[in-house]
Amino acid sequence: MSSRMGNALAVILLLIAAGFRLWGLSTHPPGFHNDEINDIRIAETARQGRIEVFYDLGGEGREGLYQTILTVTTGAGGGGLIGYRMLSVWLGLLTLAAVYALVKRLYTPTAAVAAMALLSVGMLPVMMSRMISRESALPLLLTGILLAFARAFSLPDGDMRRRARTTPFTALGLLLGAGFYVHPAHFIIALFSMVFIAYMIVRRPMSRRRLGYIGFALVIMIVVAMPYLISSIRLRELSGPARLFENMVTTRPEAVSSVMRGLGGLFLVGDQNALVNLPGRPMIDLVSGLFLVLGVVVALRYFHQSRFIMPLLATVALAPVTLMRTTSPDFVAMSLLLPLIALFFGVGVSALATGVPARSRPVFWLALVALFGFNIVWTSRDLFNRWPALPSVHTLYRSTLAYAAHYLDQTAGSLPTVLCVSNLNPATTPELENYEILALMMHRPNVPLRYANCGVALVLADGGEVQQVVFLDSSALENAHASIRNWLSAGEIIHLPGMPGASVVRLDVARNLADTVGRFTTTAPVSYAPESPGGVAPTFPPVRFGGNVTFLGYEPFASQTYRPGDYLTIVSYWRVDGVVPSDLRLFTHVLFDPVSIAAQSDVLSVLPAQLQPRDIFIQVTFVRLPNVLTAGRYQVSIGAYEDNTDTRLPVFDGDEQRGTRVFLPEIMITSN
């Protein structure tokens, strides 16, 4: 095969590879899994200006170079299910180009095209290009280092009489230094690199100029890696060396067994983890595996040549950390070997192509094309049909949230949307809440969503005009308080594909809401606080508060008489008149007298920062009455305050301030 034909085929393969990596990128995988979410969180942390060598994930360290680059790419191209994955797509395509350049330089155009073809349509390389994962950068890192070695040491012939150039040595030093910030496995890559440099120095006499360039490359590596080394000393528990041998086997029998399973995973029985593979599917087909074995045999046969000893040394160095694992075959770990697997496969194809008689070569090339076609069909079927249908895939990648994100991308820009969530205080938990993960999956991050715990609260957007309420939990509608459920039952239930139960309720309750609020003006009496100017005075809603909040009224109490231990339930209605405090909370007090609190509840089950003018929110508040309460009449007051400063919002009667709370009808506590 001529070099020109090889280049043309490489372009075609690159286009095919791009198709495999971009087709259905927002749905295959269907969402984000835990490790992807962690990397996204690191990227968002870096976006805020917090750049660290190691990021602490609950006591586990993680390097941040991949995530920092992810910050740049998503800043330019946006996030969401597509935007966050594009970095891995580009890394995968660059790996193909680098593998082609490396194998073509070391061997033949035939070997280069074959190596590129194997990676173009293989399921694991495609999967790694679709995942938000720092491991997706490792094949490119290793290939780049091997290519820099090839150029720096004038491989394949290794003629050290050629004039050395600074560019490959500079690239080598930068790659060797930067790799520490990608993954702990780079320690092994760096170790292999030092061994190969030593081998080349001993093997062939070099000029002082070339030796000086080698020293220059090592100095660059040390300078670039110095912050990493310092941080490793300071934060040993988070450093790469502490994590390098995680999940590694510890005994000789286990080591032998894991290596055998890992080798078998290449073309017999593959990784059982549905996260990156159709369970049990081998990494490559059996015929390609035979070419791979042939390539290794050829490399061993000519191991005295530098162009063969380099990939052999790399394989010997990297095999233990990729194969000797408790979960072997572990395809995520083994993805580091992909460039070497492709290289040996290409060598095997090239060797057999050279040995085939001339009259049989057309048949041989047709057989290779048929093998390539088989892999296209095999990967297409498994990646786009069989793998996405697995229930475990939907669970691992949170497909329900992905379907909801896709729906909101299409509708929330034109239709006011309330998203029902269970926890509105995510800072209190180390893990992201579902609605936060959903926001990461969306491609339209600036859509004005309202958030509410729809079990006890509801936002009626824009005065009750047409809106939709989206549920992420199929049981949320059934478990909602009766007052909330009554409003939701007035809407149209929409069942979305891929989402369980009642996914969306479309509401148009402007008239009913106006009637309800109007009724409060005559049926929901309140009074001003006795300490306010003018003292106690009865009035009817609406009552204007500070902070652009207006109290519209409350539903009649279920009872006026309670016992100690009972719950007092108050359903209140509030209107947003402008920008409200982001830390707004409501308080409800049960009082012995105007200043002595017997029981209280401070809560707000909507996200105030997302509320818009003319929104009306309903809050169901439960106040548990202590068992020690004595019988008698008790007052009930409600109000609002800013949580960060405990500053209550003032109550106004026209332009006159009337305290910081209003009083509802009294309740009676009877003895048990």
Q: In the structure, what pLDDT confidence band is assigned to residue 67 with cuts at 50, 70 and 90?
A: very high
* pLDDT surpasses 70 at 161: no
Give the closest residue to 280 by CA, choosing from 144, 390, 432: 390
Mean pLDDT of 267-291: 93
Mean pLDDT of 15-32: 92
DSSP codes, 341-392: HHHHHHHHHHHHHHHS-GGGHHHHHHHHHHHHHHHHHHHHHIIIIIGGG-HH
At 219-239, the pLDDT tens digits run 999 999 999 999 888 888 888
Mean pLDDT of 172-182: 95
| Domain residue spans of the chain | 3-392, 398-508, 517-669
Q: Which pLDDT score, from 0 to 100, does residue 57 have?
A: 83
Give the closest residue to 305 by CA, choosing from 153, 419, 508, 525: 153
CB distance 576 to 542 below 8 Å: no
Pull the structure tokens for residue 168.
Answer: 């490959």
Pull the structure tokens for residue 61.
Answer: 């360290």
Pull the structure tokens for residue 277.
Answer: 């593979």
DSSP codes, 509-534: -HHHHHHHHHHHHHH--EEE-TTSTT
Q: What are the phi and psi torsion angles at 368 (to 5°)?
A: -65, -40
Pull the structure tokens for residue 190.
Answer: 């760096």
* pLDDT surpasses 90 at 244: no
CA–CA gap between residue 16 and residue 373 (Å, rounded): 12
As a whole-number percent, the residues of the chain with pLDDT over 90 amount to 67
**166-201 b/e (C-beta count within 10 Å ≥ 16 → b):** eebbbbbbbbbbbbbbbbbbbebbbebbeebbeebe
Q: Which pLDDT score, from 0 to 100, does residue 298 have?
A: 94
pTM (2 decimals)?
A: 0.87
The domain 517-669: what is its CATH number?
2.60.40.2550
* pLDDT surpasses 60 at 418: yes
Pull the structure tokens for residue 352.
Answer: 């057999």
Q: What are the phi and psi torsion angles at 119 (to 5°)?
A: -80, -20
Pull the structure tokens for residue 328.
Answer: 């072997």
SS3 314: helix
Q: Which pLDDT score, from 0 to 100, does residue 422 have?
A: 82
Mean pLDDT of 370-384: 95
> For the chain, how many residues are written?
672
Q: In the structure, what pLDDT confidence band is assigned to residue 672 with cuts at 50, 70 and 90?
A: low
Mean pLDDT of 51-78: 89
Q: In the structure, what pLDDT confidence band is assigned to residue 119 with cuts at 50, 70 and 90?
A: very high
- Ordered strands of the 492-494 beta sheet: 449-452, 417-420, 467-471, 504-507, 492-494
Mean pLDDT of 175-180: 95
Q: In the structure, what pLDDT confidence band is assigned to residue 360 with cuts at 50, 70 and 90?
A: confident
Mean pLDDT of 323-335: 91
Give how far Cα 508 sits from Cα of 10, 381, 488, 511, Å.
Answer: 57, 45, 10, 8
* pLDDT surpasses 70 at 77: yes
CB distance 172 to 152 below 8 Å: yes
At 132-157, the pLDDT tens digits run 999 999 999 999 999 999 998 888 87
Q: Which pLDDT score, from 0 to 100, does residue 291 have?
A: 95
